[in-house]
Amino acid sequence: MTTVGAQNAGVERIAAAFAGSGKRAALMPYLMGGFPDLPGSLRIGEAYADGGADLVELGVPFSDPLADGPVIHAAATRALAAGANMHEILEAARRITGPSASGSENGKPSSMMSAPPSTAAFASSGVSGSAIR
């Protein structure tokens, strides 16, 4: 599938999550990728899916306390200390079954991969969208 095709599929999965939720809004819990470690974040993601999440916002750890606030910063710091990296986070997105994953990051992690490879990597991992702060 091309990057454009994968992006369109991602948009369709997000739209389906909102349309299929039968509610005014879809349930989209946040998960810091790699927190407390990669196996733990996968278990949390699966629990979200089992609990009825329509989408999962999967955070990419990067230390920016001003942008993230103390709780997300602490989770990112712990994930980074456990060895989390962009490739592991993308693997987590690929392995979380059920709800569609949506990536969330500040601009730094994806700027470490250039924009097109980052977009292609997100799309090939099954990530449906990306919110870059």
- Pairing outcome for strands 55-59 and 100-105: parallel
Amino acid (1-letter code) at residue 97: T
57 is catalytic: yes
Q: Which tokens sit at 98?
A: 């059920």
Closest Cα to residue 14, out of 120, 124, 100? 100
Catalytic residue among 68, 88, 91, 105: 68
Catalytic residue list contains 68: yes
Cis peptide before 36 (omega within 30 of 0): yes
- Rounded Cα distance between 53 and 44, Å, is 11
Catalytic residue among 12, 37, 50, 57: 57
Residues recognised as catalytic: 57, 68
